[in-house]
Amino acid sequence: MQNFNFKLATGVLAALSGALALTSSVAYAASEANLPVVQQELVAPPAMPAPITRKTPARVVVNLTVEEVEKEIAPGTKYMFWTFGGTVPGKMIRVREGDTVELHLKNLASNKLPHNIDLHAVTGPGGGAAQTLIAPGNEATFTFKALASGLYVYHCATAPVGMHVANGMYGMILVEPKEGLSKVDHEYYVMQGDFYTAGAYRTEGLQNFDMQKAIDEKPTYVLFNGADGALTGKNVLTAKTGEKVRMYFGVGGPNLTSSFHVIGAIFDKVYTEGGTKYQENVQTTMVPAGGSTMVEFVPKVPGNLTIVDHSLTRAFNKGAVGLLAVSGEPQPEIYSQGVKTPLAEVAKVAAPVKAAVVATDDSGLARGKSVYERICSACHLPDGKGVAGVFPPLAGSDFFQQRPYEMAHIVLHGRSGELVVNGQHYNGVMPAQDLNDDDVAAVINYINVEMNNGKPVLTPAQVKDMRQIKSQ
């Protein structure tokens, strides 16, 4: 009964939207008939379609297909995403201010639900929602003029709208100003979204949508580009020092506002709210649900820059983390390695012991100590005791002691997900460390000898072999 009504309603709406599409294309036909026709290039995020070099308006034909697809939301956890073009976020549309956009929206016959699209770049009621509302097995065509430059969110606006958006139905359309955008070395497309699954964070298997969690605005996942790990591991973004990076960042929501931040970078320019004016030298910018920003910066020192929502439990406990891996020569005058020394009164007691360790060192322990202090101590703390529930201990760690040799995998490839150390649960992200074979062997040996009463277990040659294996 319910099913019957639903089918009837969408049928009527599809017919209605067909009629509307016809009227609008007729209205445009007279004034826009002579425009050259350009086919929109569609690429998967974080890639962007190529910058526009045209100096005159065109009629840009966009073919977007709604696909309901089951994909990994986290390693081992699946989710039924509803998408524009098979990806979350949906494919980026890139046009020039003054262009006429001819949008074709297909709803695959194999889909289960009606969908449509509301583009914030449209001037007019509903942003195209009524014209494009179609049941599975239909195509809608809607034409609009991109009057104002800026970066705009688009999303599905079919009831229940919050649910369609929560399932991944959002993307962006960039309307370049007439004069174009300045040239940069890298353009990346990243969107944040909040996801509401029946099971807890990283519960394995196919997860259902939880409407009550969505209404309560208590997401299970807060993600960049639709998956826990979409911008980490083998998917990290990359740049070289001195290269200019522009990120097109949006928030699909449906609910959360992002405190968008890149740890270790200062944005040279932030095009606030995706508009035409920019603010300079910004640390964190606020991006509302259904809003966007363009940020530009030039990484100056090598290393991993971590992309987060600075509402930090979202980053550490719900997945909102990405990495921009920067390669290049160290710049000690901008960013030094630093020096750490014990306080005077501690030094008096500890100094002779420390000297002894270095003096008797013949297996890279001094080197391991220096790597540890420089890198690992920031999270696992100088004494290796960690922070309960956040950074697991390396000193006296049962996890480490079980297979000290295997720990090199964690340093080489990073680690995330459920972990139990000395009975305490952890669920964080340790980024892969950019260290050479000598340093990895040395730091593992140092931790095993100095913090776990063990013996040296690794040689640089073994680390070299382990690099090839992507286990753990």
Residue in 64, 119, 251, 411 binding ligand HEC, rule: CB under 6 A: 411
Q: Which amino acid is at 16?
A: L
From residue 27 to residue 66, the character string flagging contacts with Cu ion as x (rule: CB under 5 A) and all else as - is: ----------------------------------------
State the binding partner of 35 from Cu ion, ligand HEC, none, CB within 5 to 8 A by kind: none
Give the residue with the Cβ less far from ligand HEC, 224 or 391. 391
CA-CA-CA-CA torsion sign (35, 41, 47, 53): negative
Quick one: how far is CA 87 from the chain centroid?
13
What part of residues 326-385 is at the interface with ligand HEC (CB under 6 A)? Answer: 371, 375-376, 378-380
What whole-number distance in Å separates Cα of residue 80 and Cα of residue 234?
23
Q: What are the residues whose beta carbons fall under 8 Å from the beta carbon of 324, sequence distance 6 or more?
A: 236, 237, 238, 239, 245, 262, 265, 299, 304, 305, 307
* Min separation Cβ 464 and ligand HEC, Å: 17
* Partner from ligand HEC, Cu ion, none contacting 214, C-beta within 5 to 8 A by type: none
d(CA 342, CA 213): 48
Residues 117-156 within binding reach of Cu ion (CB under 5 A) = 156
314 in contact with Cu ion (CB under 5 A):
no
Say which residue the tokens 């009463």 belong to: 453
H or E segment and range at residue 308:
strand 303-309
Q: Which residues of 398-423 are buried (b: 16+ CB within 10 A; e: fewer)?
A: ebbeeebeebbbbbbbbbbeeeebee
Select from 417, 450, 452, 462 the one that contacts ligand HEC (CB under 6 A): 417
Q: Which is nearer to Cu ion, 167 or 207 (CB)?
A: 167
- Contact positions with ligand HEC (CB under 6 A) in 420-449: 421, 426-431, 433, 443, 447
**Residue 158 interacts with, from Cu ion, ligand HEC, none (CB under 5-8 Å by kind):** Cu ion
| Residue type at 414 in one-letter notation | G
Amino acid in position 79: Y
* Site for Cu ion contains 169 (CB under 5 A): yes
Interface positions with Cu ion (CB under 5 A): 115, 156, 158, 164, 169
Interface positions with ligand HEC (CB under 6 A): 371, 375-376, 378-380, 391-394, 397, 399-400, 407, 410-411, 415-417, 419, 421, 426-431, 433, 443, 447
